[in-house]
Chain A
Amino acid sequence: MGIITKISLRNLVRQRKRNIPLGICIALSMCILIVVFAYTSGITDILFNKVMTYAFGHIRVEMTENTSQMRQVIRDIDRFKEKAREVIPGIGEMYGEVNAFARCLGNGKSTSLTLVGLDLENEYEDFAKQLKVVEGDPKDVFLNPDEDALALYKQAADKLDVHVGDVVRVRLNTVSGQVQSAQLVVRVIAKADNAFMAMAAFMRQDKLRALLGMRKQEATGLIINMKNLENPAVVIEKANKLHDVLKPGIAGITARLTAGGNGAAGAKNSAGAAGERTLQADLFALKTDTKDEQLYTAQLKITAGDMSAFKDTEDGVLLSEKTAADLKVKPGDIIGFDYHTRFEDQARDDTLTVVALFEPAADNMQNTAFVNQEVFYKHYFKDLPMKEPAFAQTNPLAPALVMQYKLLDRTPDTDSSMKKMQEVRKGDWKGAVVDVATMYETASMIINLQYVLNFIGMAAILILFIVILIGIVNTLRMTIRERTREIGTNRAIGMQRNDLINSFVGEILLLAIISCAVGLLAAFGLMQLLHLIKFDLSDNPLSILFIEGRLHFVPRISLILLSFYVISAICFCVAFFPSRRASRMSVAGALRHFE
């Protein structure tokens, strides 16, 4: 140990009457900083790694269909999952969400809940650990296919006045908007971490799908959660990548058209030809907005029939001349139309009435047919086709054709996201829209809440810290001022200025290190004590910031080190400048100094 360090240590001990209170102030500052940082980290942890992943997901993809009703359903969830895996590394979990808002009746009481369908064949163990069961066994809900069972949180169970074994009646809407009802048996009651989580109830996903009329490949949304999200802003970049690869193509169906004969969905042929005629055709949909109507009217050279009723027809089709000739049909005839579906590989069939014939503008449109978007959506949304034909984007007709969906632009927060959706809803749109959103858009009010709470916490602590700091600074200055004669004596016996400065700075830094260590221990002790306090926050929205009514602390090494460096830096400054000034005094002047 160097001589200066020994001097610093000796002075530290010698001045203990002054240094102990000073050390306590420094320790207190360290303790407060660590506790506040740990609390704000805890809020971030709750919001981003619990509430967000639980309720909104870090990244969320939604598809909304609008035909006669607004339906939130992704028809081909695996397609979106595949795209996400291609461009987003580090995915913690990704799943198709199946949930529904339901009105629930218990024993004479009612409440509204969100029913969440969980597919737990592979994840049962993890989920069962996370679910803080008060009554019942999760196996009875998720591993028993013979009963329509439900897992509720205690708050909801109390509202409904039900216990394990009781029946809850639920009313919800299917994905097509029909009223559905069911009786579910409560098999699990669990403790929710906060009032927000308590709004959910869980059941087997296959059971909920059956109630909602949803098929295995459908989901209400795609949720993507990253692993241990420390820097929330990283999800924005990942969402942008996903957005870029989800650009839609032109929607189409490779279908079989049939005319003549006795079969083929009642097809009729005015030419009277015997036998059935079939051919494969590419069926696309023309949009019926005024500007699109003008475009396709200009692009399609109609050679027979009348286009005027096309956009309002409920079963009209435009055929190319070649297709009509091969099928031996003309305007007014009815043809059969069927295609193989992508899932379940069933044949879906219907009839269409030939409205008009057109001369194809290009060779690759020889076996092409067009319907209006209403006719198209009747089939397309319900059953995606096994094969979707391509249509050249360079074709002048392309802008008038219906896309697989409309991909909405990315937005930075909830406000702009809401404005975006309002703009979409203002228009007379039909079809599907897809939105890729991060938690910044789906729940920016929660993120803002986190910012505000962090800001308030930091502001409060900063004020307290400044008050304490003023005390420390003042005390240090007084200390050095009172030891001016000692400085003079040391200078007189040959101590150099730098050594003098180093001895004082070393003394203060040693004090800071020891005090910070004590403060660290005190901080952990205080966090443990505060964690023991349980707050009664039933139905209080602020319970979202607590876990089981208790404060949640997440001390991070980086923030502890930051606290130490901040305090050390301050101590260094308050020791360095006064001691430097004192070291510059003349020896005689320092020896003459009198307080």
Chain B
Amino acid sequence: MKKLYKRIAIKLIFGFLFGSTLWAVPTGNEILAAMDRQQSMNTDITAKVKITQQRTDQGVRVLECVFYRRDKDDAFLIVMTAPDSEKGNGYLSDGDNMYMYRRNTRTFQHVGRDEKIGDSNASMGDMESRKYSELYRVAKDSAGKEIIVEETLGNAKIPVYRVEVTAKVSDVKYPKQVIWVTRDNFLVLKTDSYSLSGTLMETAYFTKYTVIQGRYIPLWQKFIDRFEVGNMSVVELSGISLKRIENTVFTKPYLENLSK
């Protein structure tokens, strides 16, 4: 009996010691690193993308495209398939440079990160696979403590960490973001993006993920404009494939041929 009590006591002590570390809030760097791991695709990805855009002054507009991405080379290719006015236009990044292709003129144009895609709210920079840990740092409060709060999100009361981050570099769109990530696997569920002056500009929801070959891919994303209330975009992915993409895909001739 004494041996039994001794074993129980040892287990309780160990459980207390290690259990407390298991339940500890991770550091900001750990969270950002985990988010990067979840977002990075070690394989290539091909997907059909549908963007439904609602603007108060323009009504509803639907854009469709095919999206190829290779994180290893920081390359992506987008070919617009709808509406007719955009069909055949494309966007290419080979890691070092970004280009916009216009089917009407059959010309490529060197563009920057802020170039809009198909006159939507999405820009070239949004398509890049840039790491949170390289772009942002977790903000600290006046006491010097990282602003990471345990909360629940939505009606399903999903346990999340609410993390406030500020930009480390100047070439990011939003200098401040508040991100809600799941506690178990660090998937981003919601982000609030703020302007340089601290005004909430956009809220994004990533509420539907699918798992393909062990990778989490957001199937449904909603971007709500908080500045011009009433504007929003919904991005839906379908036809996702993680098969290897040929190197020739991320080239100008390929985009040109595809657009014909």
The residues of A with any CB-CB pair to B shorter than 8 Å are 66-71, 103, 105, 110, 169, 171, 173-174, 176-182, 211, 213, 422, 424-429
A sample of 26 cross-chain residue pairs with beta-carbon separation below 8 angstroms, ordered by A number, consists of A66-B110, A66-B112, A67-B171, A68-B171, A69-B114, A71-B112, A103-B228, A105-B228, A110-B56, A173-B114, A176-B170, A177-B112, A177-B113, A178-B175, A178-B196, A179-B174, A179-B195, A179-B201, A180-B195, A181-B195, A181-B197, A182-B197, A425-B109, A426-B107, A426-B110, A428-B97
Instruction: Tell me if B201 and A177 are in contact (CB < 8 A).
Output: no
Q: Which residues of A contact B196 (CB under 8 A)?
A: 174, 178-181, 213
Instruction: Tell me if A171 and B171 are in contact (CB < 8 A).
Output: no
Instruction: Tell me if B111 and A70 are in contact (CB < 8 A).
Output: yes
Q: Which residues of A contact B175 (CB under 8 A)?
A: 178-179
Interface string of B47-78 (1 = CB under 8 A from A): 00000000011000000000000000000000
**Smallest CB gap from A177: residue in B:** B114
Q: Summarize B's interface: helix, strand, loop or mixed.
A: loop
Interface string of B102-126 (1 = CB under 8 A from A): 0000011111111000000000010
Is B33 an interface position by the 8 A CB rule? Answer: no
Distance in angstroms between the alpha carbons of A71 and B114 in the assembled complex: 10
Q: Which residues of B contact A422 (CB under 8 A)?
A: 107, 109
Q: Which residues of B contact A180 (CB under 8 A)?
A: 195-197
Within 8 A of A (CB), among B144-176: 167, 170-175
A103 and B114 contact, Cβ closer than 8 Å, known pairs A174-B196, A177-B173, A179-B173? no
Distance in angstroms between the alpha carbons of A211 and B227 in the assembled complex: 17
Instruction: Tell me if B112 and A69 are in contact (CB < 8 A).
Output: yes
Distance in angstroms between the alpha carbons of A480 and B170 in the assembled complex: 86
Q: Which residues of B contact A105 (CB under 8 A)?
A: 227-228
Number of A-B contacts (CB under 8 A): 81
Q: Which residues of B contact A178 (CB under 8 A)?
A: 167, 170, 172-175, 195-196
Distance in angstroms between the alpha carbons of A292 and B197 in the assembled complex: 43
Instruction: Tell me if A426 and B108 are in contact (CB < 8 A).
Output: yes
Interface size on B, residues (CB 8 A): 28
Q: Summarize A's interface: helix, strand, loop or mixed.
A: mixed
A210 nearest CB across to chain B (Å): 10
A341 nearest CB across to chain B (Å): 16
A213 nearest CB across to chain B (Å): 7
Distance in angstroms between the alpha carbons of A427 and B252 in the assembled complex: 12
Give the residue of B110, B113, B228 whose beta carbon is less than 8 angstroms from that of A68: B113
Most chain A beta-carbon contacts within 10 A, residue among B173, B174, B199: B199
A426 and B228 contact, Cβ closer than 8 Å, known pairs A69-B114, A177-B171, A179-B173? no
Q: Which residues of B contact A110 (CB under 8 A)?
A: 56-57, 228
Distance in angstroms between the alpha carbons of A176 and B111 in the assembled complex: 15
Most chain A beta-carbon contacts within 10 A, residue among B56, B111, B113, B195: B195
A367 nearest CB across to chain B (Å): 31
Distance in angstroms between the alpha carbons of A66 and B115 in the assembled complex: 13
Q: Which residues of B contact A176 (CB under 8 A)?
A: 170-171
Is B141 an interface position by the 8 A CB rule? Answer: no
Q: Which residues of B contact A211 (CB under 8 A)?
A: 197
Distance in angstroms between the alpha carbons of A429 and B111 in the assembled complex: 11
Distance in angstroms between the alpha carbons of A428 and B109 in the assembled complex: 10
Is B246 an interface position by the 8 A CB rule? Answer: no
Distance in angstroms between the alpha carbons of A213 and B197 in the assembled complex: 11
B154 nearest CB across to chain A (Å): 26
A259 nearest CB across to chain B (Å): 26
A162 nearest CB across to chain B (Å): 16
Is B96 an interface position by the 8 A CB rule? Answer: yes
Distance in angstroms between the alpha carbons of A179 and B107 in the assembled complex: 29
Distance in angstroms between the alpha carbons of A67 and B107 in the assembled complex: 21
Within 8 A of A (CB), among B75-114: 96-97, 107-114
